[in-house]
């Protein structure tokens, strides 16, 4: 089925595969800050307010820059900012649509707290508020699903962080320099690559009809979360995720009872740059759970830097989950339930 061009076209009418195939171009997006004047006060704390795919880039940045950030960095996925937000806090309100009510609430609170504020969106009320208030902002291209615009979001986020002096501008170059390499890697997953040579199609066939459980570590946790998002929204498939070492302190025991023939497929998202003790935990946990759960399928992230491995893992997740959507007989692009929920909340 996955090698039949007619089936792919019929079940992917909005060409989600084409969008995924072009994601490598996003890392070269020419980002610009508008209304960039700032108070000049030293920033000691960063809070990124966003939901779902719009929070993902911040989680990825936090993992990537964990050894470079000299300030606290928190990602808020809720209606309220932490009580510590003040004039030495940078609050970045991130919403692809620009209309996410939780993020808009956080923007309003940030202004009341006299925080330094940046906005990241493709349009909507968030950009309108930023224009009216002369708030520093980066506007990214519109017309996509937020989960498929994550690399736009990451590049814009790093620009805002560098604009406010939190990180070096050279990080933007590191992102952009990955473009040609990502393009070459993406070619392995394209729709015209037959299943026997296509790892994304193979993984989809292995996991269709099951509930995937994605495990990451300190570095790869955001990638595991991205895989969950992709399965939820592309494949319309329930999925869960967790991270080591926390998994060993609770969920680990949860696998220990009931028949091994559980309706799950387990994926370990692995990086050569991960903490060695965490890699050891992956190995021992799979061995100790042998016969108690399905054996974990390792996903070894590819790339010669932590950033490249993270980006590679995110794009691979979209391809594999889109192929699962096609096998599930669902359109990968729309998220109708989310839109219905927003309409209900707006009434």
Active site residues: 233, 249, 342
Give yes or no for a cis peptide into 245 (omega within 30° of 0): yes
**Tokens matching residue 162:** 């560098």
The CA distance from 176 to 164, in Å, is: 20
CB of 237 closer than 8 Å to CB of 211:
yes
The CA distance from 53 to 254, in Å, is: 28
The CA distance from 210 to 153, in Å, is: 31
The CA distance from 37 to 146, in Å, is: 28
What spatial distance separates the first Cα and last Cα of the chain, rounded to whole Å?
42
Give yes or no for a cis peptide into 98 (omega within 30° of 0): no
The CA distance from 129 to 278, in Å, is: 43
The CA distance from 270 to 281, in Å, is: 11
Closest to 12 measured CA to CA, from 335, 334, 331, 336: 331
């Amino acid at each position: 089925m996955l090698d039949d061009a007619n089936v792919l076209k019929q079940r992917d009418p909005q060409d989600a595969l084409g969008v995924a195939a072009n994601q490598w171009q996003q890392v070269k997006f020419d980002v610009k800050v508008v209304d960039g004047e700032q108070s000049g006060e030293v920033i000691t704390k960063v809070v990124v307010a966003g939901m779902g795919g719009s929070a993902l880039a911040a989680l990825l940045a936090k993992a990537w820059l964990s050894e470079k950030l000299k300030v606290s960095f928190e990602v808020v996925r809720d209606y309220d900012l932490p009580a510590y937000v003040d004039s030495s806090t940078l609050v970045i309100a991130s919403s692809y649509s620009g209309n996410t009510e939780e993020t808009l609430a956080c923007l309003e609170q940030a202004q009341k707290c006299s925080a330094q504020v940046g906005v990241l969106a493709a349009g909507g009320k968030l950009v309108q508020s930023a224009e009216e208030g002369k708030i520093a902002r980066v506007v990214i291209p519109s017309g996509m699903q937020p989960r498929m615009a994550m690399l736009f979001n990451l590049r814009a986020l790093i620009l805002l962080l560098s604009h406010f002096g939190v990180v070096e501008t050279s990080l933007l170059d590191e992102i952009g320099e990955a473009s040609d390499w990502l393009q070459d890697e993406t070619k392995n997953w394209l729709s015209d690559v037959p299943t026997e040579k296509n790892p994304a199609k193979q993984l989809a066939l292995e996991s269709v009809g099951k509930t995937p459980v994605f495990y990451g570590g300190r570095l790869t946790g955001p990638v595991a979360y991205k895989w969950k998002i992709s399965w939820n929204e592309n494949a319309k498939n329930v999925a869960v995720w967790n991270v080591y070492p926390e998994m060993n302190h609770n969920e680990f025991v949860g696998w220990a009872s009931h028949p091994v023939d559980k309706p799950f497929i387990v994926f370990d998202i692995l990086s050569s740059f991960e903490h060695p003790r965490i890699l050891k935990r992956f190995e021992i946990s799979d061995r100790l759970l042998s016969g108690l759960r399905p054996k974990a399928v390792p996903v070894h992230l590819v790339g010669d830097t932590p950033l490249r491995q993270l980006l590679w893992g995110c794009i691979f997740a979209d391809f594999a989950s889109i192929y699962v959507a096609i096998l599930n007989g669902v359109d990968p692009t729309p998220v109708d339930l989310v839109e219905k929920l927003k309409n209900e909340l707006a009434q």
